[in-house]
């Protein structure tokens, strides 16, 4: 998780370009829960090096929308986008996954974020038939997209689906307060075999984890988790396809196993394998 910059980001977002993928009108789909992380956008300098990586690794369908934007679908459901970072934009320094969090009112959320010290890089904007969105960097400099969807987003299940998100923060208390005001998150804690894990929740549902960055070298970020059927086999494929393993697999007791990887362009994401039925009942 390296350093990044968001200058010029408004020119690089897939979400603003996918209105024609599955047109819908406000109110025609079930409401998306506030606080749910429903979209991820990969901003990358090297789309050509990552398109086949994700197709082969997760079985994602990747369709070109324009010469700078691609849409990722899983089981027929749009779940993410890929956007080419402009080569003439030196302010965007690296590839990274941008989280899209559902809010009830994008304009109000962006206004509150600005009042609390965030920078608004993309003002609230309509993507016809898809939703309304804004892009900010929070007070720790973490980029995030605030979404008010007009249609169902994400929602696929099984291997190849998004299963979790984490906010890595230098000051978790401050970040929890910020997202509590902007998104409506409540902070909670899960006891896990003598240790604890903090989560951000809305409506009694856990939406994301909250983790203190362990060292100064790790930049604050929103990090995605993708479910895989067999973690060890998937890690072998990561290496074969030109990616890298940043953190080796770690067993989460009865919660499964997780590892951190990077795609060939350097964008980081977690891989998660669910526990077997035997592990759950131990």
CATH code for position 69: 3.10.180.10
Q: Clarify whether residues 201 and 251 are in a common domain.
A: yes
Say if residue 17 is in the same domain as residue 94.
yes
Domain shared by 64 and 136, yes or no: yes
Answer yes or no: do 138 and 175 share one domain: no
Q: Which residues of the chain fall short of a pLDDT of 70? A: 1-31, 86-93, 129, 192-194, 253-254, 277-282
- The tens digit of pLDDT for each residue in 92-102 reads 557 899 999 99
Same domain, 27 and 114: yes
Tally of structural domains, the chain: 2
Assess whether 171 and 238 both reside in one domain.
yes
Q: What angle do CA 97, 210, 279 make, to 5 degrees?
A: 95
93 and 179 inside one domain: no
Do 102 and 205 fall within a single domain?
no
Question: Distance of CA 109 to CAs 6, 120, 138, 152, 206, Å?
Answer: 19, 11, 12, 20, 20
Element (H, E) at 56: helix 47-58
**What are the strands of the beta sheet with 205-212, ordered from one edge?**
186-192, 195-202, 205-212, 162-169, 221-227, 268-273, 257-262, 244-251
Range(s) of the domain holding residue 225: 162-280
pLDDT at 77: 86
C-alpha 180/C-alpha 259 separation (Å) is 28
Give the pLDDT score at 41.
93
Do 26 and 143 reside in the same domain of the chain? yes
Q: Is residue 2 part of a domain?
A: no
Q: According to the model, what pLDDT value does residue 179 have?
A: 98
User: Could you tell me the pTM of the whole model?
Assistant: 0.87
Q: For residue 227, is it within any domain?
A: yes
């Amino acid at each position: 998780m390296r350093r990044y910059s968001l200058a010029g980001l408004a020119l690089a977002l897939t979400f603003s370009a996918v209105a024609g993928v599955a047109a819908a009108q406000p109110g025609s789909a079930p409401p998306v829960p506030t606080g749910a992380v429903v979209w991820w956008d990969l901003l990358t300098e090297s789309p050509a090096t990552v398109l086949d990586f994700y197709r082969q690794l997760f079985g994602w369908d990747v369709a070109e929308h324009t010469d700078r934007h691609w849409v990722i679908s899983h089981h027929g459901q749009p779940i993410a986008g890929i956007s080419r970072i402009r080569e003439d934009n030196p302010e965007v320094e690296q590839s990274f996954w941008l989280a899209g969090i559902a809010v009830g009112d994008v304009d109000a959320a962006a206004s509150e974020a600005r009042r609390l010290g965030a920078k608004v890089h993309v003002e609230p904007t309509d993507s016809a038939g898809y939703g309304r969105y804004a892009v900010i960097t929070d007070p720790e400099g973490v980029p995030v997209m605030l979404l008010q969807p007009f249609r169902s987003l994400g929602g696929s299940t099984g291997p190849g689906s998004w299963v979790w998100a984490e906010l890595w923060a230098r000051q978790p208390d401050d970040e929890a307060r910020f997202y509590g005001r902007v998104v409506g998150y409540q902070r909670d804690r899960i006891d896990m075999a003598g240790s604890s894990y903090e989560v951000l929740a809305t409506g009694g549902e856990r939406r994301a984890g909250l983790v203190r960055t362990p060292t100064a070298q790790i930049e604050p970020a929103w990090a995605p988790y993708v479910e895989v059927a067999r973690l060890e086999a998937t890690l072998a494929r990561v290496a074969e396809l030109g990616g890298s393993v940043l953190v080796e697999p770690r067993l989460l007791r009865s919660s499964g196993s997780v590892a951190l990887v990077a795609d060939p362009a350097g964008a980081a994401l977690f891989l998660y394998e669910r526990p077997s039925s035997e592990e759950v009942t131990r």
